[in-house]
Structure 1
Amino acid sequence: MGKMNRLTGLAALSLVVFATACSSGGNGESQGSPSASAGQSASAGQAGSASFTYVLPTQHANWLKDEKWLPIIEERTNTKLEITDAGDGSTYYSNMDLRIGGGEFPDAGIVRLAQADVYGTQGAFVDLKPVIEQHGPHIKKFMEDNPEFTNLITSSNGAIYGLIAEYPKIPEIIFYREDLFAKAGIESTPRTIDELTEALRKLKAEYGNNGQFYPLTGRDQFMKFTEAFLAKDAIKDGKVNGIYENGKGFDLYSPNFKKQVEWFRLLYAEKLIDPEWVAGTETEESWQTKMLNGQGAVSYDYYTRPVLFMENGGKQNDPDFSMTALPYLKDIEGGQSKATPMFPRFYTDRVMVVNAKSSDKAADIIKFLDYLYTDEGQELVTYGVEGESFEVVGGEKQYTLEYSVQTLKPIGEQKWNFLNNHLTFPKPVDSEAFYKWNDQLVRDYALTLFTDEYVDDLPILKYSTQQLQDRANLLAGVKGPLQAGLVDFVTGKRDMSDWETFLQEMETAKYKEVVAIDQAAWEAMSH
């Protein structure tokens, strides 16, 4: 009993560290840099001839206030910034609707792309296109070099009502217990679905006698490895295949997806996959506990998980505990499969707009943002200050701060942040530098695996407000029956001979109507 309580505590600690590592600032801090130490708190800003108020989700606002580079930017751009917040998640965007409708939107803030388009065409936001033309040369250059970005931010009337934040390329990873593989006699890492299946069988034979060991386990949606079956949702030759989730979903009507379901059915029948994961009853805490105490050996989840397991319970529970990433498998045709980033490169929930009532400040706001697109501004938000947070060795910038020490610095303390997956301002992101500002283990596999050889960048769909509403309503009626049906097939409650009948049921549930909305969105963007 004591052991399980300890494991539960470790799992809870891992949750805290995970939230901090994925969400907190990249936390470097040292004394003695005049430029860095000159700034007061980010919310107070620097005295300057320009100023503006800026609203964004509460969590991100708190991080931004702690950014050690922000006072330096304020000083260099002669700008004073006042940061405000308005909740998190869907609550935040609902609050933006209310603030815009009630005339209480600040000078600038973050909205969804659809909100930017709708309210912008109604006159609520400044058309930034002429402002960028006159005051944002580096933003303009970025737009010219990235036509997808320009297409996304340009409304049907030709105006630009907001700038989208770029996101680093971060796919989920397959990871495994190296020590359990070695003890089970698995001498080489699996490279195909068949080899993975055989490895799971060996693991089950070695550790499955107590009935509580399932080699493949996880949390959330169990339908992973879709890239290896060549069954991802996609846009091919102008046609949307499957409900489009930027490659994170699947094409229900693909024959290869049926093969994937059959593979999971085999895993379930041979007790190679955690039944709680398949049933949807696995919690994050129970999954973590299983991975920590050896009840699971392979999983597919967030890119920092191996380090978090290693540092938060793994070694304490088992001195031999060793975990790392598995290269993405070959696909069923023998080629290299490609994973999909968790979020698209240009994240349409992160769009900065300028209040039309603050049009007199638009030029200053764009000048402020334009600095973030310069080489100097990029160096500051990506590496910090030379001599304080990085040094140049052999012509390359290297961080001098210890990542593992910095990441747990508390909210409310100024710090360097080089985890540029945070929402701060719309600005370019250096993905390679993002990987480098991580634990050594993550750095090693991210720099190897998060490349064009292993990861796809897929098109981003831009929806109208009506399309978003219709799509959400339809999905509410589709996802339940879809998930339940897949679980029935995998668990053997339903025979695979019923597959065509199931597809007809999904048509009745209006699966294809969701795809039709995605198709319409793609065609509108393509013309």
Structure 2
Amino acid sequence: MKNTVKKMNMFVIVLLCGIVMIACSNSSDDTSDSSEGNSSDSSDIEVTAVINAQTLDMEEIPYINDITEEAGVNVDWTLVRSGWEEQKNPILSSGDIPDVFISAIADEDIATYESLFLPLNDLIEDHAPNIQRMFDEMPEIKELATSYDGQIYGLPAVIPHRPESISVPMINREWLDNLGLEAPTTLDELYDVLKAFKEDDPNQNGQADEVPFDFNTNIGQWGLLEMIGAFGNYTYSFSDNLLTVKDGEFIFLPKTEDYKQLIEFMNKLYEEELLNQEVITQDWSQFNSRSKDTNAATVGFTFGWSIEQRVGQWKDQYEILTPVAVDNSTTPLWMADPVALKTQVNRAVVSSNTENPEKVIEWLDGFYSEEASAQGYYGSFDIGIEEQDGEYVVLTPPEGVTEDSWKWTNSLVDNGLMYISSELDQKIVPPPSISERLEHDQMLSEYYPEEQNILPKLNFSPEERNELSIIRNDLANLVDIKWAEWLSEGGIEQEWDSYLEELNNMGLERFKEIYQTAYDNYQE
């Protein structure tokens, strides 16, 4: 009996040991799976990127795959090709955001939802040598990326082959030659040329289809304020077209005497049908088709990013027009902002809840290497660009595809992350259209404002930013209503004083005070 009990006890002990060993084995397996899962999770990055409608999926772009593979991460991409502004606030308000946003978040979003985003200062210093090199070599870029509280929430990008101005003035040289005219240099001469363009059939097709002068409905870029420099005092700001600075003083352009005189001149042109009669109501498509999609060149004088972009098939008829002045005694100005034109801010922001911020910043840092940056604007090696004898040569696109379309298909372009240093910019051989645009930029450079008269990007507290937004919205609404009314119907002289009073009642002085303080702080 005792032996039987002993055998049973031994059996129970062996059984229990087996159970324990199995349990231990299972526990060990669970930890391994969990560890592998955590390891996998820690290298998984969720990214939402706002991209151009033409751009390929990220998995189809070789240089992006190379960056991802080198960093040892797996990227789960959500790509937004349209409608982001409508989607953005509900996503941010929910607090459930991806690890990284690319080209999706603005300063205002960071100010409003600051707790959602991770300060990157220490991570950059410890884990992002390429980004740190950019900041060391170009401290002005670091300053642009730094928020009011001294933190860096968004990574900037420095892009290649950028002109200093976003716009060029152009005139139809063939029309001038057909009519025996010289290029105008003053507003009075411009008036005479435009009148001839209207009356004397300069395109020689026997039809009254000429539009002597046309500009974008937007008051700023490619619009009305392109000519504010004719009076020799101001140019509009790239960051906010209604604003500028001169001799240390913040200026609201639609309150200036120059603005008033410019509107009066434009009203004269409009009344005599020397300015496009649909200039106030046309949309972007109409603005472009009128100068491109015609059986003959129909626009005499206009503004655009480049001659080719603006007038398409008729580009060989046009030349750069030296900025016109109010009179022969005035040296005109033309808008420029070299830092803003080559710099994109907030190209990437990181969630404050990301599980492995070090891995995320290391992945993002890969975009800023020389090779990745060279591919980031024009496309991957052997597709958009190639290495030749120590240079990077932009490749010709396939037949029937434009240079612009090819780069937007194969890279993130302006939406991407990159650091094109001055040295690298010289090593990248641009395509012909870009070379021409840079040459045109040089032709205008003597008319660019001095650096101290270019309004920089300024920092504001969330409270100030909110106050500015409310006031600016009211100011801009009034400005938009009145410039369109005065240009088409006249009356600015009679209504000017009441207009200024209304601007002040809307908070213009407070608006200027906040900006002036921020500008003074920037100068310090």
Category of TM-score, reference length = shorter chain: 0.7 to 0.9
- C-alpha distance in 2 between matches for 1:351 and 1:383: 17
8 A contact 2:117–2:350 mirrored in 1: yes
Farther off after superposition, 475-484 or 58-67: 58-67
8 A contact 1:369–1:426 mirrored in 2: no
- C-alpha distance in 1 between matches for 2:416 and 2:505: 43
Q: Where does residue 137 of structure 2 map in the other structure?
A: 145
Compute the TM-score of the two structures, normalised by the length of structure 2: 0.72
Larger radius of gyration: 2
CA-CA distance at 1:330 after TM superposition: 5.1
Equivalent residue letter for 2:439 = L
Instruction: Determine which of 351, 357, 360 is the counterpart of 1:355.
Output: 351
3-state secondary structure, aligned to 1:356: coil
Q: How many corresponding residue pairs? A: 450
- C-alpha distance in 2 between matches for 1:435 and 1:282: 38
8 A contact 2:250–2:515 mirrored in 1: yes
1:201-350 paired onto structure 2 within 5 Å: 201-207=195-201, 213-221=210-218, 222-223=223-224, 224-229=226-231, 230-232=233-235, 233-242=243-252, 251-277=253-279, 280-291=280-291, 292=294, 293-303=296-306, 306-307=308-309, 309-311=311-313, 322-329=316-323, 331-332=325-326, 334-335=330-331, 337-340=333-336, 344-348=341-345, 350=346
Instruction: Determine which of 50, 67, 70 is the counterpart of 1:73.
Output: 67
8 A contact 1:265–1:491 mirrored in 2: yes
Q: Where does residue 477 of structure 2 map in the other structure?
A: 480
Equivalent residue letter for 2:74 = K
Unaligned runs of 5+ in 1: 1-46, 243-250, 315-320
Equivalent residue letter for 1:203 = F
CA-CA distance at 1:139 after TM superposition: 1.3
What are the superposed Cα offsets for residues 32-66 of structure 1, whole Å, 9 maximum, x if unpaired?
Answer: xxxxxxxxxxxxxxx99944221122647955625
Compute the TM-score of the two structures, normalised by the length of structure 1: 0.72
Q: Where does residue 24 of structure 1 map in the other structure?
A: none
What are the superposed Cα offsets for residues 458-485 of structure 1, whole Å, 9 maximum, x if unpaired?
Answer: 4113344443433333233323332333
3-state secondary structure, aligned to 2:335: coil
3-state secondary structure, aligned to 1:215: strand
Does residue 161 (structure 1) correspond to residue 156 (structure 2)? The answer is no
- C-alpha distance in 1 between matches for 2:426 and 2:317: 23
Q: Where does residue 17 of structure 1 map in the other structure?
A: none
Q: Where does residue 128 of structure 1 map in the other structure?
A: 120
Change over 3 Å in CA distance of 1:58–1:140 after alignment to 2? closer
CA-CA distance at 1:109 after TM superposition: 1.4
CA-CA distance at 1:132 after TM superposition: 1.1
Equivalent residue letter for 1:184 = L
CA-CA distance at 1:400 after TM superposition: 2.8
Instruction: Determine which of 461, 481, 487 is the counterpart of 1:490.
Output: 487
Instruction: Determine which of 192, 197, 200 is the counterpart of 1:198.
Output: 192
8 A contact 1:435–1:446 mirrored in 2: no
CA-CA distance at 1:206 after TM superposition: 1.0
Q: Which has the higher helix share?
A: 2
- C-alpha distance in 2 between matches for 1:95 and 1:437: 41
CA-CA distance at 1:329 after TM superposition: 0.8
- C-alpha distance in 1 between matches for 2:473 and 2:148: 29
3-state secondary structure, aligned to 1:159: coil
What are the superposed Cα offsets for residues 86-118 of structure 1, whole Å, 9 maximum, x if unpaired?
Answer: 56342243144224x2xx211111422243355
8 A contact 2:392–2:429 mirrored in 1: no
What are the superposed Cα offsets for residues 127-174 of structure 1, whole Å, 9 maximum, x if unpaired?
Answer: 211111111122122213333332333344433222133454460222
Q: Where does residue 502 of structure 1 map in the other structure?
A: 499
CA-CA distance at 1:216 after TM superposition: 0.3
Unaligned runs of 5+ in 2: 1-39, 236-242
8 A contact 2:267–2:490 mirrored in 1: no
- C-alpha distance in 1 between matches for 2:312 and 2:143: 43
What are the superposed Cα offsets for residues 428-454 of structure 1, whole Å, 9 maximum, x if unpaired?
Answer: 47796899655x455313333168545
CA-CA distance at 1:375 after TM superposition: 2.4
- C-alpha distance in 2 between matches for 1:181 and 1:403: 36
- C-alpha distance in 2 between matches for 1:299 and 1:484: 23
Farther off after superposition, 175-184 or 128-137: 175-184
8 A contact 1:137–1:370 mirrored in 2: yes
Q: Where does residue 376 of structure 1 map in the other structure?
A: 371
Equivalent residue letter for 1:290 = R
Q: Where does residue 416 of structure 2 map in the other structure?
A: 424
Equivalent residue letter for 1:236 = K
